[in-house]
């Protein structure tokens, strides 16, 4: 396993691998890896000859009041976690390498990114798809792996691949959960013991919604009203949004008669958490 920080070196590594007819699997991350990331890496390893994991805390996707500075970073820890998985390369460029001072081109999605997290974090998805487009250009993967926890992110990336005719297959893998079913997230490391316990309310609420919808309650307004009552039972949680939408178009729905995804976002203290669940 080698660590490459230079874009030119990364590109020539890929060129050599391609010459030998190897397929490339890619897992983009912002580091501080957890079992969710490692499940993506294992899937990449199974599907591809060469596996590249990028570790890059992308400044473009953080708002001015967000946690870019304090976002957890520990490359040595990440290397130790990745070493046993037999990957080929960690691509870990600096911010200057990815975004030199004269950088001026961005990719933007204008529909799926309007609601949900996009509404609460203006510019976030523009930052995500710009960096992912750059990473795809550098690594030229056959398959790239994303977690279902960031449902809106993977929907927008799929749309970008379609709209820009990118030759990469997007594979979305299920959210990996802790023993108490809290979704794994690098941001869980910010939570105190009490806050960590309170964070269970996100998935509990999503399970409540799924059960109601799958037990023939079709009225989404009613389902969400009841779910919000449940959320009030956790005083540490401050809701940002709770919505039930079409899994592909992300359009909000009134009736639970087709497959849906329920998504939740909110704060526990200063930590912003998200989660989601697929329904039928």
Question: What amino acid positions are annotated as catalytic residues?
Answer: 37
Q: How far is the CB of 218 from ligand PAF (least distance, A)?
A: 33
Tell me whether residue 134 or residue 210 sits nearer to ligand PAF (CB atom): 134
Tell me whether residue 58 or residue 271 sits nearer to ligand PAF (CB atom): 58
Q: How far is the CB of 233 from ligand PAF (least distance, A)?
A: 30
Chain residues binding ligand PAF by CB under 6 A are 28-30, 58, 61, 128, 131-132, 150, 153
Q: How far is the CB of 137 from ligand PAF (least distance, A)?
A: 14
SS3 256: coil
For the residues of 157-206, what is the DSSP string, one character each?
Answer: HHHHHHHTT-S-EEEEEPPPB-TT-PBP-GGGGG--HHHHHHTHHHHHHH
Tell me whether residue 83 or residue 95 sits nearer to ligand PAF (CB atom): 95
Q: Are strands 260-268 and 237-245 parallel, antiparallel or unpaired?
A: antiparallel
Tell me whether residue 61 or residue 205 sits nearer to ligand PAF (CB atom): 61
* Interatomic CA distance for residues 203 and 31, integer angstroms: 24
Tell me whether residue 90 or residue 231 sits nearer to ligand PAF (CB atom): 90
Q: How far is the CB of 236 from ligand PAF (least distance, A)?
A: 25
* Interatomic CA distance for residues 280 and 101, integer angstroms: 47
- Judge whether 280 and 213 are in contact, CB under 8 Å: yes
* Greatest Cα-to-Cα distance within the chain, rounded to the nearest angstrom: 59
Query: CB burial class (10 A; 0-12, 13-18, 19+) of residue 244?
Result: buried
Tell me whether residue 153 or residue 204 sits nearer to ligand PAF (CB atom): 153
- Strand ranges, E, within the chain: 2-4, 24-29, 50-55, 89-91, 143-147, 169-173, 237-245, 260-268, 271-279
Question: Cα 110 to the chain's mean position, in Å?
Answer: 19
Residues near 30 by beta carbon (within 8 Å), at least 6 away in sequence: 55, 56, 57, 58, 71, 186
Q: How far is the CB of 30 from ligand PAF (least distance, A)?
A: 4
- Judge whether 134 and 98 are in contact, CB under 8 Å: yes
SS3 26: strand
Q: How far is the CB of 55 from ligand PAF (least distance, A)?
A: 9
Question: Cα 23 to the chain's mean position, in Å?
Answer: 23
């Amino acid at each position: 396993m080698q660590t490459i920080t230079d874009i030119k070196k990364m590109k020539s590594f890929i060129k050599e691998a391609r010459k030998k007819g190897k397929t490339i699997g890619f897992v983009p991350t912002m580091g501080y890896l957890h079992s969710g990331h490692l499940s993506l890496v294992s899937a990449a390893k199974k599907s591809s000859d060469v596996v590249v994991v990028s570790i890059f805390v992308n400044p473009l996707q953080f708002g001015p009041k967000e946690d870019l500075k304090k976002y957890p970073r520990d490359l040595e820890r990440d290397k130790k976690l990745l070493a046993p998985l037999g990957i080929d390369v960690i691509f870990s460029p600096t911010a200057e390498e990815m975004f030199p001072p004269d950088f001026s081109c961005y990719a933007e999605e204008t529909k799926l990114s309007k609601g949900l997290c996009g509404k609460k974090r203006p510019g976030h998805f523009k930052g995500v798809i710009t960096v992912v487009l750059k990473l795809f250009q550098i690594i030229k993967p056959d398959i790239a792996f994303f977690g279902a926890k960031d449902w809106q992110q993977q929907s927008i990336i799929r749309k970008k691949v379609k709209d820009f005719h990118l030759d990469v297959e997007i594979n979305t893998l299920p959210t990996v959960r802790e023993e108490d079913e809290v979704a794994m997230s690098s941001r869980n490391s910010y939570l105190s013991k009490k806050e960590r316990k309170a964070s269970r309310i996100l998935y509990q609420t999503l399970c409540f919604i799924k059960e109601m919808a799958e037990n023939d309650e079709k009225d989404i307004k009613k389902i969400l009203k009841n779910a919000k009552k449940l959320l009030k039972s956790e005083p540490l949680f401050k809701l940002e949004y709770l919505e039930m939408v079409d899994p592909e178009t992300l359009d909000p729905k009134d009736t639970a008669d087709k497959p849906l995804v329920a998504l939740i976002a909110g704060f526990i203290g200063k930590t912003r958490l998200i989660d989601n669940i697929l329904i039928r």
